[in-house]
Amino acid sequence: MDINWIYGLLGGLVIGTAGAVYLLVNGRVMGPSSTVGGLVDGSDRSGEQVGFLAGLIAVPAIAALMIPMQTYASSNWAVLVMGGLLVGFGTRLANGCTSGHGVCGISRLSPRGIVASATYVGAGMLAVTLLRHVWGVI
**Distance between start and end Cα atoms, the chain:** 24
Min. distance of Cβ 80 from another protein in angstroms? 4
Report how far residue 94's alpha carbon sits from residue 75's, in angstroms, rounded to the nearest whole number: 28
Report how far residue 31's alpha carbon sits from residue 28's, in angstroms, rounded to the nearest whole number: 9
Min. distance of Cβ 30 from another protein in angstroms? 6
Min. distance of Cβ 42 from another protein in angstroms? 8
Min. distance of Cβ 45 from another protein in angstroms? 12
Which long-range CB contacts under 8 A does 115-120 form with residues at least 24 apart? 119/94, 120/90, 120/94
Sign of CA dihedral 10, 12, 18, 19: negative
